Chains A and B, each alone.
Chain A
Amino acid sequence: MLKRPAFHIDLKTCTGCKTCMVACKDKHDLPEGVKWRRVTEYSGGNWVRQTDGTFAQDVFGYYMSISCNHCEDPICVRSCPTTAMHKDECGIVKVDHAKCVGCRYCEMACPYRAPQFNPQIGMMTKCDFCEDFQLQGKAPACVAACPCRSLTFGEYDELKARFGEATTVAPLPEPTITQPSLVVTPGRTAKAAHSDRGRIRNPEEL
């Protein structure tokens, strides 16, 4: 097992196909409404109509696939009143269902919306980094699924060495909040965190 398991996403190749979302739902048999992995569409830009009927525009857009970042300083763990949310010895942030009361404080605290309430069991659920697959030497379902090979996983320090310093791009929050185990390769039009150039365009799908 990894010491600090982390995901890497390459925004230069991610086309927002959402296969990672479905692979996750199938692997973990998640009911409707529960999405351990979510693909955010972030876009912006303005249009100006010119006198000759043409348009000037500076439109941009890209996708961001996010599950749980198994943060070094997980705010969900800090905000859990029952200690159900915890980080295990393998660096995976987990919910202990013997302790979870479904209060959803972790959901409210997490800037990535990683903890997901499952109404069928009345408790929180979340990405477990496909721990069983890792034990079998396999990649997490989302990583193995990615048609564009935009998702990878591995030891956080190794991913950082391979893909560069973890860069934060919009619409991700500043990494100082939770120290996410996430490495991002920005795309051509990536905007800085807190940029007001674009916004999340698919809130209903997340």
Chain B
Amino acid sequence: ALADAGAAATAAEAIITSSCNVNCGSRCLLRTHVANNVITSIETDESGNDEYGMHQIRACLRGRSMRKRVYSPDRLKYPMIRTGKRGEGKFRRISWDEALDTIAAKMKDIKERFGNEAFYLQYGSGSTGGLMSRANAFTPLVRLMNCYGGFLNQHNTYSTAQIATGMPYLYGINAGNAMSDMANSKLVVMFGNNPAGTRMSGGGIVHDMLVAREKSDVRLIVVDPCFSDTAAVADEWIPIRPGTDGALSAAIAHVLISENMVDQTFLDTYCLGFDEAHMPADVPANSSYKAYVMGQGPDGLVKTPSWAASICGIPAETIVRLARQIGQAKPCCISQGWGPQRHSNGEDACRAIAMLAILTGNVGIPGGNTGAREVGYVNPFSSFPVLTNPVTAKLPVFLWTDAIERGPEMTAFKDGIKGTDRLKAPIKFIWNYAGNTLINQHSDINRTAGILADERKCEMIVVLDHFMTPSARFADILLPGTTNLEEDEFARSDYVSEMGYVIFGKKAIEPLFESRGLYEVCADLAGRLGFKDKFTEGRTRDQWLQYLLDQSRAKLPDLPQTLEEAWKMGVLKIRNPGPPDVPLKAFREDPAAHPLKTPSGKIEIFSKRLWDIGHTWELSEGDRIPALPEFNEGFEGYLDPARKRFPLQMITHHYKQRTHSTYGNIPWLKEIAPQELWINPMDAEPRGIRHGDLVRIHNDRGASVIKAKVTPRIIPGTVSLPEGAWYAPDAHGVDQGGSPNVLTTHRPSPLAKGNPQHSTLVEIAKA
């Protein structure tokens, strides 16, 4: 590798394949121009004729600004140890040896006093695409901790907790038809799905969507509180109040049932729980979905369009028209993004939306969908092997601050702990690698900062990152990491419909300053902890890459033989050999031979499992776990009485400036896509707020000052503050960065114990 870097230094300019590995859900190819060990510019995939299926993997604006990340003046340069109070941001330079010795000594101390359950690997996704630098699950850090006796594991993610938990009660899985399959649809209705904002890669889902529409000119309706960038290219936008998708779905169901547009044969053959004739034996009468919709259920409410209209903010005639379009289009694709589920009622909302696909019999067929979010080609390239975690306890990922404060009180029935009935130890040691969840991306920043500031609770926090992020400020030991342009790395394709690929990213420049890669740091710690051979198996980092190449070749025979060939190849693209992926296709064709992974093998509209959970779990006051996919008001939604004090609903859409918080410090991106609060003129005018004014957005948990974008592109009564902006408190603790998590609640959703960051009530005033 050194020899190659030397060669690059003597040549006028070399072009080296790299990738952007952040967690947008896509994965892009970068072509890094390097002269004299300096990156001079970054291009993207320009290969071939761009034929769809082997098309160019064109990076978005973030990947194109990568050299500004590598050369940011904010790069961490050498290891540091905290000198001030935790969170204060005062550090002193130390050597790598001192840093690693200190970490190893504290690891031994914590293990001895509290056992392995006291170690927590903080959720992070700043490095998601790479195999050797990955931030979660299949990462060298997990291997290190597994070698050391394990760590407190986690379940769920901050992206999908509610839908990934909710959908399997309905279908046994959580999967939707490939985006490319919408070319086979007669109508596409997207609920809170915004590929143009969340899957921006020109190799990924937004491209799949545009190509499919070019083929079929299929009508696209977007249901979303915001006129998203996807709405900007859609046929119709139906604005909806956040968290009310369940009410809209029930009203559409009412029209479909009343006007005989349900597929009764499909419901009778494939589903349980639609009507009273298909119910479990031991539940009360009128517990079916049809009874719920038609007003015979326990609430006695008929779910008419006019009932839903005042909740959702959508005129009843629009609901009727939408229902008729859904009922008459054959096939119809109902899909949802992950916005509708990131709510206090998300487990129910995601299933409620799926009901529209079920009622119309659009499940398991081309051009239809399950109502879930799209899945596509699954890349079979191997992950880094991490061995097995001897600790079985799993924490809902959103509850880690609770585990610091009251770990041993946390149980399966109360807190959603899995793998054990009750935690043994509180969290005492946190590894925070390539992540900003420690402060920025977790809810209720002020609460989190208070918990972390108490050094008696969590005794050590180690951060390995590129920048002094809001989370890095809370480190005890702060380590400078390499970017993936400073190391050899492979990156796999992520969400894409019809093509898989592996990017072979050669080190473009030597690591800057004293930065080091995750694998090397873990290997050195393994040596200090006495299990270097078990950790490395005698392999260097490059030998592991060769190992992964060899492991994967059985599944992908076109892979190169050697690393040298891989660097030369740059990328291997694999065309999806089959038609667009249609989950549940086999079940649809032969339900007896291919039962679902639900207890009955059928689609469980009424879930007896949820019924039992709803009657046995210890829930917070007001929480409910309904067995049906019904409208559940949840907390901090439109119907919450707390809206008297905080009348506006706040959501946090994904924003082109950043992927979550990554790239959030890049001037080029802040200049052309500044952080701003979306607010409708009907909410801005009575508050005397004009476009560009600084406003104070606040509730009982905190406040943030940010510029207002006064725009008709958001439904009145709702504001949106794009997620991921870096928390920047002033001397009084008031955020000046527009970081939404100073306002979001730590209260988890009832079933998944997931993050409900779009269920937030606020008030706004001119600053």
Contacts and interface: CB of A to CB of B under 8 A. Distances in A.
A35 B667 CA distance: 13
B313 A22 contact: no
A59 B227 contact: yes
A12 B239 CA distance: 21
A147 B711 contact: no
B206 A187 contact: no
A201 B711 contact: yes
A49 interface: yes
A98 interface: no
B233 A12 contact: yes
A132 B343 CA distance: 51
Interface in A29-56: 29, 32-33, 35, 39, 43-47, 49-50, 52-56
Interface in A151-166: none
Given A29-B41, A43-B227, A205 B673 contact: yes
Nearest to B314: A54
B206 A15 contact: yes
B389 interface: no
Given A27-B41, A32-B671, A54-B309, A46 B229 contact: no
A43 B41 contact: no
Interface string A145-182: 11111000000000000000000000000000000000
A10 B41 CA distance: 27
A51 B65 CA distance: 48
A110 interface: no
Contacts of B239: 55, 57, 59
B210 to A, nearest CB: 5
Interface in A44-101: 44-47, 49-50, 52-57, 59, 61-63
Interface in B39-68: 41-44, 46, 50, 58-61, 64-65, 67
A21 B715 contact: no
A17 B200 contact: yes
A204 interface: yes
Contacts of B668: 22, 25, 32
B229 A146 contact: no
A118 interface: no
B713 A59 contact: yes
Interface stretch (B350-358, B674-682, B724-732): B674-682
B2 interface: no
Contacts of B202: 19, 146-149
A58 to B, nearest CB: 9
B65 A22 contact: yes
Contact of B232 (A15, A19, A21): A15
A53 B716 CA distance: 10
Interface residues of A, number: 50
A53 B313 contact: yes
B672 A55 contact: no
B672 A59 contact: no
Interface in B59-115: 59-61, 64-65, 67
A26 B671 contact: no
Contacts of B673: 18, 205
A15 B207 contact: no
Contact of B44 (A14, A56, A145, A148): A145
Contacts of A21: 61, 672
Given A145-B64, A149-B210, A188 B716 contact: no
A138 interface: yes
Contacts of B214: 13
Nearest to A53: B310
A35 B673 CA distance: 13
Contact of A61 (B58, B227, B310, B672): B227
A144 interface: yes
Contact of B58 (A33, A53, A147): A147
Contacts of A204: 674, 692
Contacts of A46: 712
Q: Contact size class for B?
A: 35 or more
Given A17-B656, A43-B712, A147 B206 contact: yes
> Dominant SS at the A interface?
loop
B712 A17 contact: no
A61 B230 CA distance: 11
Contacts of A192: none
Contact of B207 (A18, A32, A147, A188): A147
A131 B674 CA distance: 31
B732 to A, nearest CB: 27
A26 B310 CA distance: 49
B412 interface: no
B309 A52 contact: yes
Contact of B712 (A53, A59, A148, A188): A59
Nearest to B229: A15
Nearest to B667: A32
Interface string B704-742: 000001011101100000000000000000000000000
Interface centre among B197, B316, B668, B692 (most CB of A within 10 A): B668
A54 B310 contact: yes
B136 interface: no
Interface centre among A21, A56, A145, A146 (most CB of B within 10 A): A145
Contacts of A17: 60-61, 196, 200, 229, 656
A61 B224 CA distance: 15
A15 B210 CA distance: 10
A27 B58 CA distance: 15
Contacts of B306: 52
Given A49-B682, A49-B716, A54-B309, A148 B210 contact: yes
A109 interface: no
Nearest to A15: B196
A57 B230 CA distance: 18
A39 B672 CA distance: 9
Contact of A44 (B233, B237, B712): B712
Given A16-B229, A43-B712, A147-B202, A54 B313 contact: yes
B300 interface: no
B315 interface: yes
Interface centre among B44, B61, B201 (most CB of A within 10 A): B61
B235 interface: yes
A118 to B, nearest CB: 15
Interface centre among A13, A32, A141 (most CB of B within 10 A): A13
A55 B238 CA distance: 10
Nearest to A44: B712
Contacts of B449: none
A144 B315 contact: no
Contacts of A32: 667-668, 671
A62 B231 CA distance: 9
Contact of A145 (B58, B229, B315, B715): B58
Interface centre among A43, A146, A147, A148 (most CB of B within 10 A): A147
A186 to B, nearest CB: 12
Contacts of A138: 46
Contacts of A205: 671-674
A26 B712 contact: no
B64 A22 contact: yes
A63 B231 CA distance: 12
Contacts of B309: 52-54
Given A13-B210, A49-B716, A59-B712, 11 more contacts: A15-B232, A18-B672, A27-B41, A52-B306, A55-B313, A57-B239, A59-B227, A145-B58, A147-B207, A149-B210, A188-B235
Interface of B: 41-44, 46, 50, 58-61, 64-65, 67, 196-197, 200-202, 206-207, 210, 214, 227, 229-233, 235, 237, 239, 306, 309-310, 312-316, 656, 667-669, 671-674, 680-682, 691-692, 709, 711-713, 715-716
15 contacts: A15-B200, A15-B233, A16-B196, A19-B59, A22-B668, A23-B64, A39-B672, A52-B306, A55-B313, A59-B227, A59-B713, A147-B59, A147-B201, A204-B692, A205-B673
**What 8 pairs across the A-B complex have the smallest Cβ distances?**
A147-B202, A15-B196, A53-B310, A22-B61, A19-B61, A22-B64, A15-B229, A54-B315
